Chains A and B, each alone.
Chain A
Amino acid sequence: MNAEDSIHGLDSRLTADLAENHQERSQTVSRFEDIVRTYHRDVRLFVSRFLGNDAAVEDVAQEVFVQVHRSLDQFQGRASLKTWILGIARHRVGTWFRQQSRQLRTCSLDVEADLVQYRWQQFQEIETSSAGAASATEIDAEAELILLRSCLQKLKPPQRELIQSFYFEDATAESISRDQGRSAGSVRMALLRIRDALAKCIRQQATRRLNHE
């Protein structure tokens, strides 16, 4: 059994447990830690898709689980637990945008305020696209990363090494710049170009696969 199967299995098991043990909340709730551990990655990926900001993703993801914690006894087991949790995540993202929009409205001459508006537009377009939100909710976070992994493999060795160092070995742009004898700014710019290339690669692969469907 690979990791994906085991996670899908865990989702089914947790969903079934919550549905069957609806009257035994203590048992159900005692699984909360498992629930957080199982779904935090899915939630953070889902949230990051719309927010694109480290601190905000962390905050909103935490709020999602606080809400899950509060509402666990409302879960009926009609959909999978993951679908239910991601539904809550979608709701929290919408709330976050509304709150941010309010707070940033008073200082609208700001890049951050503009970005919130642009991202909110993006979110609303999906929300209002014939229940597109529902399908967005049902995605698998691991599936989402597969295209990224595939695109990472297509990078040239120096680019892959840079990604490896920065993201997977926790090197900073400054430390890399010292090693490579270049400025930190140029390292950050190189990383930006690689991420841009990865985004385009992901888009191309997704389009190609859709055309083959």
Chain B
Amino acid sequence: MSDSENQKSDTSQPAFSPWALWERYNAGEDLSPQQSNALRESLQRDTEFRRDALAERTVDQMLRIEAETPDESEAFVARVLAKCHTSTNEATTNSNARLLDRALLQNIAKDRQNTQRERTSWNRPSSAWLAIAAAVVVSLTGFGVWYQNQNVANKFGANQSNQSSDLAVISEETGPMNEASTPETPQSKASDGLVQNRTSELGKVEDSVVESQNVVLPENSLIPDQSSIVFATVTETSHLSDSTKLVKGMTIGEDRIEIPQGEIVLSMADGATVNVFAPCRLELLSGNSLRLTSGELSVSVANESTRFQVKTPAIAVTNSGSVFDIVVEETGRTEVEVRRGEIAVEAIDYPNAQAWSLNADTTSFLTIYTPVRDSKGGHLSDIESIASDTIRAPIASLAKSLSGEAKGVITFNGQSRSFDDEVVFSKVREQVFQGAKSPGERFVKDWSRFVETATNQPQPAGSIQLNGKEYAFDNYNEAVLAQNNVLAQFAPTEKSIDSSEQSDDQSNAVEATEQLSGSFHGTVFIRGQRRDFRTFEEYRAAMKELMGPAAEFGFFPFGK
């Protein structure tokens, strides 16, 4: 029994019982600072209490939905329709919205009874999909991850064909942004003459920034440039530390800004609004561009004729008339999410890397992975020092559609391969980034042959039969997932794909498989050829033989 369980039945200390505090908090009662701290500490310290408390709130929500009356359901539907109607008026250029608007006017007064769900009863019989519900419910209570992993493996083969392609809408043809696509010099309140001066200044600014991107930022969180060139005005500040010399109304020119704490809002000279969330380091490059070294920004450009660009150490994001968020992590990971309109994302200094066009209504989320950067946010720690003129560092990007479909592209040494499955993408990315730390000639050649198999070789259709079970596949992605299922039988604790633990997990899976090789026997069929195996080593040899160069990535951990 946890601390909280003991206290839940202890009514002599209601003021400090975590459950009593939890109840009062959820009832909307004001807690004293002491009580609030006590509750926060309980939630943090007592993981069992935290799990139960969160699950209790979820049950509350389920009960409310279960108890909903038809009228309440209709009220929700009406609110949604009203909101869509408003949204339609705000975006009259959207043809779909226009059609919907007409449809709403036709339908809103229609009889709503035909499709109204019957209110369910508690005595409803269970059915075959009860087990699926279990997976969902346990996900609320802390067992979810384990269960999901048990089931995900079983889903891969069957569902792979479904993971196609609302991502077809992603433009992969966005050409590289050249000078012409770089946002122009800001139009500020200054005179034409000043604008011209600024234009000539801008070139210098851009150049110097590129050259000095590895410069260590000074202790001072802002180096104000009180020159006459104004790139932005601070319009809001919130919870800034005393050392941050930013105040509301301050104008900023060519400046580097570091905010260790709090939030500011910048009104850029060309009309964009930039919310900067701490901890964050950035440099203003012009009235319509900035460089984000690390941290998080939200950019809102109301006017479609206004272009705005955010550069990071890895990418350049260009937009007009859109709203997007961007997060640059010290780990080399960058996330971009477009919330309204469209943006273009292009890698900087990575030849042949994938360029993306993201749209808020289709594919709105992109994650970019580059080699780890050091704490100063500039130097590539491992790979850049090794990468020579002839071997270029890897970059990977994963775009997700609104419905969760994924498309990833990995580029190493100027050669790219795309993936339609997030798990396969993550496995290959991990392997490439590991291998690129010390890219021997063979590794580079393996990658090159692997990329070429995507276009030069037919897809590897076949199956893996292991200990009486068969895992079929029709292409490379499915083959990797089929092996995932094979390994999952021997390493059920494997859990994280999209994390730094992935390689360890994968290694553990292989090691577990090797230890249990006595019970590891089966057959591999690929493209009509058959190989039997009785150990993991034999299995690996069979896969490498029958898959060819495609087996070098995604199947076995680096160095194994």
Give A contacts to B, CB under 8 Å.
3-4, 7, 10, 25-26, 29-34, 36-38, 40-41, 44-45, 48-49, 51-54, 57-58, 61-62, 65-67, 69-76, 78-79, 83-85, 87-88, 90-91, 94-95, 98, 102, 105-107, 110-111, 114-115, 118-119, 122, 125-140, 142-150, 152-153, 163, 167-168, 173, 185, 188-189, 192-193, 195-196, 198-200, 202-203, 205-207, 209-210, 213
Contact = CB atoms under 8 A, between A and B. Distances in A.
B495 A129 contact: yes
A192 B36 CA distance: 19
Contact of A132 (B8, B104, B144): B144
A72 B96 contact: yes
A117 to B, nearest CB: 10
Contacts, number: 360
A105 to B, nearest CB: 7
Give the interface size class of chain B. 35 or more
Interface string B103-122: 11011101010011110111
B97 A40 contact: no
Interface in B453-472: none
B36 A130 contact: no
A67 B153 CA distance: 30
Contact of B63 (A106, A163, A207): A163
B59 A199 contact: yes
A48 B39 CA distance: 22
Q: Is the interface of B mostly helix, strand, loop or mixed?
A: helix
Q: What are the 3 tightest A-B residue pairs by CB atom distance, in nearest-first order?
A: A87-B403, A132-B148, A48-B61
A136 B137 CA distance: 10
A148 B66 contact: yes
Contact of A199 (B20, B67, B141, B339): B141
Contact of B159 (A70, A106, A134): A134
Interface stretch (B22-30, B194-202, B245-253): B22-30
B147 A195 contact: no
A72 to B, nearest CB: 6
A196 B60 CA distance: 9
Interface in B52-71: 52, 54-68
B80 A65 contact: yes
B379 to A, nearest CB: 28
B337 A130 contact: no
B257 to A, nearest CB: 17
B343 to A, nearest CB: 15
Interface stretch (B160-168, B312-320, B513-521, B542-550): B160-168
B59 A198 contact: yes
B104 A188 contact: no
A29 B462 CA distance: 42
Nearest to A3: B118
